[in-house]
Structure 1
Amino acid sequence: MDFLEKALDKVGRDEVTVKDELPKPELINTKLNTSEIVYTTTQKITLNNEMLRDRRVVAMQKHDPIADYFRMLRTKVLKQMRANKWNSFAITAPTRGVGKSMVATNLAISIAMEVNQTVLLVDFDLRIPRLKWYFDADVKYGILDYLNSDVPLNQILFNPGIERLVVLPGVGDTRDSSELISSPKMKQLVEDIKNRYSSRIIIFDMPPILAIDDVLAASEYYDAVLLVIEDGVSKASEITKSLQMLSNTNLLGTVLNKSQNPPDHQGYGYY
């Protein structure tokens, strides 16, 4: 634990505990602070709230105490994003099983519920994509189909029934993830989605940083990184190495997930 304290000190104690053109999700109502946004080109799915709860997707619940932690995490993240004029960040973890995709899903929902922002959540874990599972989305195509088979993005993007949130899911897997991430087509895709809407926050759900080099290969695509660690599981050596690998990257902070002793509404980001 002494080491963990030092590691968190290193990141400023910003611990947050828990040639196709991109088609516009055309907005019939374009004012973000109005009551409803209607998507005309992005497919919309119907959420199963009971299934979401079973999969720990709770950020849309107004009176859930766990959702409150994600709202506090949202406030912390957005404060830094706005102060630095950033519009994109990646979420990663030292190793698999820490809960980075769960954090990415809940945080994306929470940010989308803040009426000044729209959010695009991108599954950049090309080897083991998980976002469609968290939304219980029965989707046919994913980002690999856009890169490899020229499937139009309007057949891939979906709105999970939450205003201001669009998801670019992953379907299937590949062993050539770092090569695809560095490809000209991926670079054009990221440039398009980053520049299309000034109010949009883009969240990249990345693979674990110690597993493969994709987080570093994609570093030009995002402005900052949020690191998820698991209480009692993430080793001091893994945290150290992860921080070293992110030393040239803007670090938003850390999320301590699956805390054994979460504070009673005195902290944030714990699950």
Structure 2
Amino acid sequence: MEHIQQALDKYRKSKQPEAKVATQKTKKFPDEQAIVYAKTKVHAANQEVMKERRVVSMLKHDPVAEVFRMLRTKVLKQLRENNWNSFAITAPTQGAGKSMIAANLAIAMSMEVNQTVLLVDLDLRFPKIHWYFDLQVEQGLSDYLTSDIPLSDILINPEGYWLSGIKNLENDIPLSDILVNPGFERLVLLPGRGQVTGSSEMLSGPRMKSLINDIKNHYESRIIIFDLPPVLVTDDVLVSMDYFDAALLVVEEGGNKPEEVTKALRMLSGTQLLGTVLNKSQAMPDHQGYY
């Protein structure tokens, strides 16, 4: 029995280095560095809730998720061919599902290790990105844009009353307090909060322009996705066209009239169009038969 035990021990020792090597080989990208968010808040989104809200691009072996991965590949190809790092997603009218497309596409893009992704909710009137990720937002983009008003922008009328909120001068909000990592590596959200009036003036202001300059030039490999308001509802899209390189138009099947799509395309003529996405389609995608 002693000889058998010694043989077994010798066999186990001979297998230990092999097991270690096998563990190392299972790493898909051995040189890849895990991203650690030192300043950005990390709040792992509830994926079950996200799936109920039709955010599914993180799922594996799922036909619907594959639709967004195919869209990701087509969009990334155009971005790289033109050396672009930002694009906007909009729709002709409300209810087409542009924010849902933006959330799914942002996750799908972040799953590629070649870039990080920043998803910015630029729909200041009806922000919804935080809802799709099941996030409770205490401070959003509009809070950041109004948190630091220069003294030159604060006027006093002849009676001495303030015409603008001086309290904002004492309440400068760092951008890091608003950014959120929703639990997906390489993805950061800049969410909105509440409903804002005077959104076009806010979007065209100097603080917004400074923010755009910072986020576009901070990381070379970052792709920025802007979720915009519907193009036919407000002038917010027109005043923010200089902020992104291209646009993606989401069209609701049965919800958007041909003349609405035509008018939306005409209004987007000032930017490069990546293409259109037909949402809420009754037809099954061709690739689903593969599964």
Q: TM-score range by the shorter chain?
A: 0.7 to 0.9
**How do residues 97-246 of structure 1 correspond to structure 2 at under 5 angstroms?**
97-149=95-147, 150-246=172-268
Gaps of 5+ in 1: 1-30
Preserved contact between residue 130 and residue 192 of structure 2 (Cα < 8 Å)? yes
Gaps of 5+ in 2: 1-28, 148-171
Higher helix share: 2
Q: Give the structure with higher Rg (CA).
A: 2
C-alpha separation in 1, matches of 2:63 and 2:284: 12
- What do residues 73-126 of structure 1 show as CA deviations (whole Å, max 9, x unaligned)? 000000000000000000000000000000000000000001101000000000
Question: What code does the residue aligned with 2:271 have?
Answer: T
Structure-2 change in CA distance of 1:32 and 1:77 (3 Å)? farther
Q: TM-score, normalised by structure 1?
A: 0.85
Q: TM-score, normalised by structure 2?
A: 0.79
Q: CA deviation at 1:63?
A: 1.5
- What do residues 26-71 of structure 1 show as CA deviations (whole Å, max 9, x unaligned)? xxxxx99626211110000022121010000101111211110000
Structure-2 change in CA distance of 1:78 and 1:208 (3 Å)? same
C-alpha separation in 2, matches of 1:210 and 1:33: 47
C-alpha separation in 2, matches of 1:233 and 1:105: 21
**How do residues 15-54 of structure 1 correspond to structure 2 at under 5 angstroms?**
34=32, 36-54=34-52
Preserved contact between residue 63 and residue 288 of structure 2 (Cα < 8 Å)? no
Aligned length: 237
Larger RCO, structure (CA 8 Å, separation 6 or more):
1
C-alpha separation in 2, matches of 1:180 and 1:84: 30
Question: What code does the residue aligned with 1:91 have?
Answer: I
Q: CA deviation at 1:128?
A: 0.3
Preserved contact between residue 124 and residue 199 of structure 2 (Cα < 8 Å)? yes
Q: CA deviation at 1:173?
A: 1.6
Preserved contact between residue 241 and residue 270 of structure 2 (Cα < 8 Å)? no
